[in-house]
Structure 1
């Protein structure tokens, strides 16, 4: 790996935004390997690897560079050099629970970790106990900054609900989900739609799920297992989940789609609300919808800004803890203590505030207060809830698995002749794709409905370039048949990508179930090779998601270095979905996990 001064470490970015001719294309990628180094200072003997949650990775990289060139010394006269990598909190928690593997996890093993919330420390401790492994040192974590979970809403929609005068909470979200915008005099806005992440991977998704359970009981602390299991609580949470557009692993996907809709003058056509930490609303309003701090002041600000709704029936303060891990030696522990102390100094805390965080004591900076229209300049007391006990937090996640909105997915697999080429490891692309697709079936809920198509071009046996293998049916009844059908696929012909995407979306629309997350997943190793349908602009017009109630998202997976990733990204962006990069076949299993996290 090439190490370059002042750059960010190996990074698992679920989403990047590429802007081309006004189009914001959402690209899901893995393993961007850049590492922070310490500038031209001394060759320090103590090296410290810190793994950060994604929303503050850029900032910590910046501050690590400042620390490395500050001339600070440890108590024994040595100095430390800090490097930063970033991984989403839920993914990092799983990696630490299993035992960090640099090759598997795409980043160096850290000696210190700073997720978005201490909720992940709770879950990691529970996993460590279950596997009889020491996963944390037991040292008290240090909060580097704070940011409350909020419900981000386009300003006109928030005002229609009564913001800022009226107190708004999760019960209002439930009511809007059930009654729609027509109940507030805006039938033109259609159904209320909520952007919410998967709580197993995303902090905002986890915190929102916890907050919804608290709101269901009317409590702010001491939530019990019986209350989580209570039918009334479950009905409340299930009602909130019913409004979800689709799930995901990073809230910046929703923000990027909102930015694209805003740029087209359709800011109110995508999501009515998104559950995110407050800091991301600031970045969005300052022209950085994907959270890239380098775009602050340079990106185009939205025509319709978002406002931060702090639920009056309870929200969590995300505390960005900094913890030393058992992998740290004595000198690294000293370096971690010194680096965390450096981050709590006034200058660094002010830098956190400038980027939309509150400081470690919960104080908002003037930039945040102005950007997200905080009442009373951010000094109004929030309705905070206490984090649940480890047992209750585990029960909440288990309950979500049962209560979440179910999906209806059409899996469309490329079976063109190029899929017979090698994917490395002694298997063809077809074999690797089939293996990943079959393994992914275990990630669906038993009540999710999944169907299967295959496509190439016309062959001697098939007049159409695409064909239905199995219609969507519940996994609990159809998994065995899906497995057999996927394993039975064989490759021949060319790649009729455009015709297949159009037909698959139309088929999904014809069977649209508005009580489910409806989606198409296209896995391909190539580019369009079908002269009968070779007009990309026409395809993009045909699949453009302008009417959300009659739209089906098309998630695409590029599965070889020959895949037309740019075009796949445009296709997914047109449907307000995500394109995933598996051009390295070795990551296809990880990619499929991320794809299924949307459902």
Structure 2
């Protein structure tokens, strides 16, 4: 309700309150509609995805308010959402391709992205869109999130650093903490090319390596001792994620089912503090229709803070050059509105710290107490250093054993526009292969059912698992014949056995399944047995990643297979999404 309407209700006689309240609500609605029609200034805001829904609600609150901007008049604020990396690319190239309104205000997750956009603008020789430092509307530090029993044990050992928690501990696993029965110590993190928290985690690792909290340089990145430090930590990654929210949703589902579940090989996850709070308060748990949040997990996560310090995600408020004078005035008023008490309380309910980095008592009760002296923060490196770091990360990240299984059943001949499903899938696979590391081990199988050309088995080794030969794999895919039915279960079962036989503890061991259908192979129809066989073994984890291609795919079953192994299924049942699905899949390795 508009503030004007609220003030009117305060003098209404009590006996008339109910009836008059209805009139006031109707009047407030008319007031809002009239205000919208009478506001000459429209302000388009683009927000990073993790806070976009909240920003949309706050914009509606702003639009209903009785505010006027400097110079007179009022503004209507509209919010759209795009993740920070994609928004950076769109602002540097052609925003119209996003299909979203051209923004005058940009609210990325971190100022790291404003620096990267500045680099892109400089390289293109155009006006800088983000030349300055910008105020925060909320903050969330990076933390190492661990299940409560493990976090409590780690904290008993006193203040530990990034290397001691994520690096050296991996050599002996939990035996180094007196708990050999907990097995290996591995952790999850987002791919830094796709995720702000993944990028921040990589930066924090470098700062821990140089034992400084500021002034990271390119020469630091080239120091052999630094690269060895980073490589040692990356070696303990269980697998990379394209979205830590999905990872936490899977963890919550498994927790509430009463098992360690699909992330049992992970001792920790590196992510922003806000997500730990959302997990612990049930916001990422399965919920019934109409529920705002699900059940709280049986085993909460606890935020552990490395002794060297951490990186802060500062959620800057960026006014872009696309804003005219009146829109700039409106933006200044909206930024002031967002930092006022009521709106800051809304951010706090989503697990954020306020615009001055202060944490609420409720947040600290949810995620765990800070160190006695408070948090210390790393300074953001220069944009040029961040760019060089991303270039070098490909050679330092943990390498993979990847067995690709490609559906060559007859249904892959069906048309998708002017191409066949197989042609679209082959083209997407080629783009995905280009993103792999030259040091990965990669093999290729085709599968359908027994045919005249392949009478003995429904699957066939096309390229043996070994050194990555991108050209050979692409040429082999181009020459495959498309015929037969879909022996999905038999192929996944055999591929899983193959990777167990070829298991490499120094690598991420993964199966990739690309299919347009569901299991059509009567000789192996036992899904329950398959799920039991591919279930994650924390001592020798082999993960299954599936891409459900086109509308005939049985995505629900592929999702069950992937989750059983602690992998992930990507929904590309809309063929237009297959390229994006491959990018996300490859970013898991």
> TM > 0.5 between the two?
yes
CA distance in 2, matches of 1:291, 1:391: 42
Q: Deviations over 1:274-308 (max 9, x none)?
A: 1111111111111123799x998731211111111
Which of 443, 452, 461 pairs up with 2:444?
Answer: 452
CA distance in 1, matches of 2:488, 2:438: 30
Contact 1:269 1:548 in 2 (8 A): yes
Q: Is 1:528 aligned with 2:519?
A: yes
Residue 143 of structure 1 is matched in structure 2 by 136
Which of 549, 558, 570 pairs up with 2:548?
Answer: 558
Matches within 5 A, 1:427-466: 427-463=419-455, 464-466=457-459
Contact 1:407 1:518 in 2 (8 A): yes
CA distance in 1, matches of 2:437, 2:290: 38
Which of 277, 280, 283 pairs up with 2:275?
Answer: 280
The runs of 5 or more residues in structure 1 that have no matched partner are 1-37
Q: Deviations over 1:91-125 (max 9, x none)?
A: 322222222233xx464443322111111111121
Residue 529 of structure 2 is matched in structure 1 by 538
Residue 18 of structure 1 is matched in structure 2 by none
What count of residue pairs does the alignment treat as equivalent? 552
CA distance in 2, matches of 1:93, 1:291: 32
CA distance in 2, matches of 1:319, 1:374: 20
Contact 1:412 1:453 in 2 (8 A): yes
Give the greater-gyration-radius structure (CA).
2
CA distance in 1, matches of 2:286, 2:386: 28
How far residue 354 of structure 1 moved from its aligned partner, in angstroms, is 1.9
How far residue 39 of structure 1 moved from its aligned partner, in angstroms, is 7.8
Matches within 5 A, 1:292-303: 298-303=293-298
How far residue 77 of structure 1 moved from its aligned partner, in angstroms, is 4.7
How far residue 582 of structure 1 moved from its aligned partner, in angstroms, is 1.2
Equivalent residue of 1:548, what SS? coil
Contact 2:63 2:76 in 1 (8 A): yes
Residue 21 of structure 2 is matched in structure 1 by none
Equivalent residue of 1:301, what SS? coil
How far residue 161 of structure 1 moved from its aligned partner, in angstroms, is 1.8
The runs of 5 or more residues in structure 2 that have no matched partner are 1-30
Contact 1:178 1:239 in 2 (8 A): no
Contact 2:285 2:297 in 1 (8 A): no
Name the CA shift for 1:295/1:75 in 2 (closer, same or farther; >3 Å): same
CA distance in 2, matches of 1:315, 1:354: 23
Which of 88, 99, 104 pairs up with 1:93?
Answer: 88
CA distance in 1, matches of 2:497, 2:101: 44
Q: Deviations over 1:154-201 (max 9, x none)?
A: 1111122234x7112202121112221112121111110111111111
Q: Is 1:341 aligned with 2:332?
A: no
Name the CA shift for 1:71/1:484 in 2 (closer, same or farther; >3 Å): same
How far residue 538 of structure 1 moved from its aligned partner, in angstroms, is 2.6
Residue 479 of structure 2 is matched in structure 1 by 488
State the TM-score, normalized to the length of structure 2: 0.89
Contact 1:257 1:270 in 2 (8 A): no
Residue 216 of structure 2 is matched in structure 1 by 223
Matches within 5 A, 1:219-298: 219-267=212-260, 269-289=264-284, 298=293
Which of 301, 307, 310 pairs up with 1:312?
Answer: 307
CA distance in 2, matches of 1:278, 1:412: 37
Q: Is 1:152 aligned with 2:142?
A: no
CA distance in 2, matches of 1:154, 1:568: 28
Equivalent residue of 1:302, what SS? coil
Give the structure with the higher percent helix. 2
CA distance in 2, matches of 1:76, 1:467: 72
Q: Deviations over 1:329-380 (max 9, x none)?
A: 444333332222211111101111122110010111122011112147xx74
Name the CA shift for 1:592/1:328 in 2 (closer, same or farther; >3 Å): farther
